[in-house]
Amino acid sequence: MGLLDGKKIVITGVLTDASLAFGVARLAQAEGAEIVLTGAGRGLRLTERTARKLATTPDVIEFDVTRPEHATALHDTLAERWGRVDGALHAIGFAPESCLGGNFMAAPWDDVKVALEISAYSLKLLADAVVPLMTEGGSIVGLDFDATRAWPAYDWMGVAKAALESTNRYLARELGPRGIRCNLVAAGPVKTMAARSIPGFAAFEDVWSERAPLGWDVTDGEPVARACVALLSDWFGATTGSMIHVDGGYHAMGA
């Protein structure tokens, strides 16, 4: 038996087979889950193409987190298809160019609020869609980059991730009485499409493996996928409101 045998899992954020979410989708299937993917906008076709690289091609449902009606539509589609949902992966983040790159003071509010809406409030919007269908409890897992530190060039995306971490804690408080767990996985830097859009990302690569006591491979998302699948399973039944670091131990080391 797999960790996710019989589970119905919604996975957001798959763009290419290098996406961290793709690794979660692949491992979730291998562990017995039935999954659907979501995509949005111009990336929807890309998600549909990448879905065909999985062992079993899942359906892709449109879910644009800037359009609240899409949460209602996602809920209705899942209710008709499955009747219940057991887990969901939040792997959604975006910040306009002005919000990244080392000029923190330059970003206008109109750009900052886009970063906050897409990268943080979207966790609550995903919960709107899936929580009513988690009739037997469930698990919501989000991908994070530890926002307890101010990182070079990460700027307002770091602020958005801090908001994501706070949103996760409040969702854990709100949803715990229903048996629904909410946790984040704070991943070390991995070479994905999202990472390549961050100016100065190479600076993370240069120091991470040297400082992480377990080492770190920026081309390997498998440790992150394993952590997400474990949290989506029943093995962490008493863990909620947490941020699990999967970064080779970098976060715990001094400069």
CB 87 within 8 A of CB 107: no
What DSSP element (H or E) covers 245?
strand 243-246
Q: For the purposes of burial, counting CB atoms within 10 Å of the CB of 105, is it exposed (0-12), middle (13-18) or buried (19 or more)?
A: exposed
Helix (H, G, I), strand (E, B) or coil at 143: strand
Mean pLDDT of the region 172-191:
96
Helix axis angle for 122-130 and 68-81, nearest 10°, is: 30
Q: Residue 89: what pLDDT?
A: 99
What DSSP element (H or E) covers 163?
helix 155-175
pLDDT, mean over the chain: 94
Which residues on adjacent β-strands are paired with residue 36? 10
- Smallest CA-to-CA distance from 33 within 59, 68, 2, 65 is with 2
Helix (H, G, I), strand (E, B) or coil at 247: coil
Q: Among residues of the chain, what percentage have pLDDT more than 70?
A: 95
pTM for the structure as a whole: 0.96
On the question of pLDDT at 112 being above 70, the answer is yes
Q: Residue 64: what pLDDT?
A: 98
Catalytic residue annotation: 154, 161
Q: Residue 2: what pLDDT?
A: 96
Q: Residue 207: what pLDDT?
A: 80
Q: Residue 195: what pLDDT?
A: 63
On the question of pLDDT at 206 being above 90, the answer is no
Q: Residue 210: what pLDDT?
A: 85
Alpha carbon distance 227, 171 (integer Å): 20
CB 91 within 8 A of CB 122: no
Q: Residue 140: what pLDDT?
A: 99
Q: Residue 235: what pLDDT?
A: 97
Q: Residue 49: what pLDDT?
A: 97
CA 75, 80, 86, 89 dihedral sign is: negative
Q: Band of the pLDDT at 4, cuts 50, 70, 90?
A: very high
CB 8 within 8 A of CB 33: yes
On the question of pLDDT at 197 being above 90, the answer is no
Q: Residue 194: what pLDDT?
A: 67
CB 130 within 8 A of CB 73: no
pLDDT digits (tens, 9 = 90+) for 130-148: 999 999 999 999 999 999 9
- The position carrying tokens 């359009």 is 67
Alpha carbon distance 141, 239 (integer Å): 11
Domains located in the chain, CATH noted: 8-246 (3.40.50.720)
